[in-house]
Amino acid sequence: MRPRFAHFPVFSLPNRECSGDGFAAGCPHRHPSGAATFRLYLRTAIKAAIQTRVREFTPNGLCRKSLQKRAPNRAFDIAKGDFVWCDLSAFRVSEAKAFYARLFGWTCHRLTQPDGSPYDLASSPAGEAAADFEMPETFQKMGLPSFWMPYVAVDSADAACEQARGAGGKVEVGPVPFSGDQSIALIRDPIGAGITAYQGTGLTPRLGGAKPGHMVWNALYVSDAGAVKNFYEAIFDWQVSKDPVLPGAFRIHNARGDTIAEIQELSDEVRGPFQFWGVQFAVSDVSKARADIVGNSGEIVYEDRSLTGPTTLAKDPDGAAFFIREAGAQERQRPADPPSGHAAPKWKTILGLLLIFVAVLFEQNWMWGVLFILWTIPALRSGETFFVEPISRRANPVLFWLIVATWIGLSVYLVVADLGGMVTSTISG
């Protein structure tokens, strides 16, 4: 069986220097805004860092003036720990633009960077959504597929870098300063997953109310959440807590207490050899989006479930992996619990308890066989079971199937042995 995430070398590059290229955003209009110009320079600075020619990039007077005139909008204020942008480092930019335009309905506005290279800003009717640019030559020579990268707001990129080093991580690029308080840095956590820290006011946070074609969720896929929990809590002021429902899942809360992302523990067999951050995009129709992906030379890799509900892992024609989910799924994923005393009776649970009492009091072992089957059916449907601790088919497939096979085997044995003994006794009598 092919590992589900075997083609995700891009979010984590163990024992390699990650360039961190690809941090920008912008405006779809003919004349880019000050924020767009800033993002353009941001992208250029990262590229310069990769080429070991890091230098200060200060936007020209027009850009600085535009940024200063930008009126504050409290609805879009950035808070530490917010996810604020994502972009695509593409092996073939033209093909990537066409693929995502058909999938998400994006329109692109091309900007020319100071070094002469193009940068494409992708927008939906709801506004700026993402960006793409040509993969740096460094990555192309390594033979990497295209990849998506998210980044997160911090109060101070310098402080984030110091905290990352102190918590066992590594600073790959930066901090690269810009005018005012703006700077960026690419950091890697203690087990290899890379993410970008952003300081400044030129970007806006990822908001709720998922809009089709926009980044709506982020998740970290690792072998051991405990190995990175303290790292991310120190840098982004996040609080990480175990999810009460999904095995191997952890919720990430920001300083306001909002759940903004998740960590998923997956085995190497499922995840592949890399630790990585994933980007989820909203679509209005998941079935149509899957068909569009396959019909335009992409690939559906896996269908899964996260804190936001059902998700689909896909790859574009050049191997860039991303997730899609239905717009609004996060808001519908888990209804509020009913008030105490108003919940509907759990008749299946009550019947199960009665079966246990009857089986023990009257020594009817075949009833235990029925209970084992009742435990097996929901496990097969959900991909999750519980034996001393939660076990997920996704995270621990061998152990999951061993438990299920044990339940089925015990069920058959108890039913056949007990009922068979009854029949034999009746015939002998």
Residue 207: which region, alpha, beta or left (left: phi > 0; alpha: psi -120 to 50)?
A: beta
Return the residue matching tokens 């996704």. Answer: 394
Domain locations along the chain:
34-332, 347-428
Read off the pLDDT of each residue in 314-328 and give the average, rounded to a whole number: 88
For residue 170, the model assigns a pLDDT of: 93
Phi and psi at residue 271, to the nearest 5°: -85, -25
Assign residue 214 a region: left if phi > 0, alpha if psi is -120 to 50, beta otherwise? beta
Largest CA-CA distance found in the chain, in angstroms, rounded: 103
The token duo for 143 is 């033979």
Are the beta carbons of 228 and 310 closer than 8 angstroms? no
The whole-angstrom separation of Cα 351 and Cα 175 is 62
Q: What is the mean pLDDT of residues 109-117?
A: 73
Collapsing DSSP to helix, strand or coil, 327 comes out as: coil
Is the per-residue pLDDT at 65 higher than 60?
A: no
CATH number of 34-332: 3.10.180.10
pLDDT at 89 > cutoff 80: yes
Residue 165 tokens, joined: 């080093």
At residue 190 the predicted structure's pLDDT band, cuts being 50, 70 and 90, is very high
Choose among 375, 367, 277, 268: nearest CA to 322: 277
* DSSP H stretches of helix in 70-125: 93-104
- Identify the residue whose tokens are 């992996």: 321
pTM above 0.95, yes or no: no
Helix, strand or coil, per DSSP, at residue 334: coil
- Percentage of the chain beyond pLDDT 90 is 29
Q: Which amino acid is at 228?
A: V
- Give pLDDT, residue 53: 30
Handedness of CA 83, 89, 94, 98 (dihedral sign): negative
| DSSP-derived secondary structure for 270-310 | HH-S--EEEEEEEES-HHHHHHHHHHTT-EEEEEEEETTEE
Look at 327-336, 347-356, 406-415 and tell me which has the smallest mean pLDDT: 327-336
Q: What are phi and psi of 18, to 5 degrees?
A: -85, 130
Q: Which of 150, 255, 236 is nearest to 194 (CA)?
A: 150
Please check the confidence at residue 144 and state whether its pLDDT lies above 60. yes
Residue with tokens 């930019």: 93
Pairwise CA distance, residues 389 & 60, whole Å: 58
Q: How far apart are CA 42 and CA 36, in angstroms?
A: 10
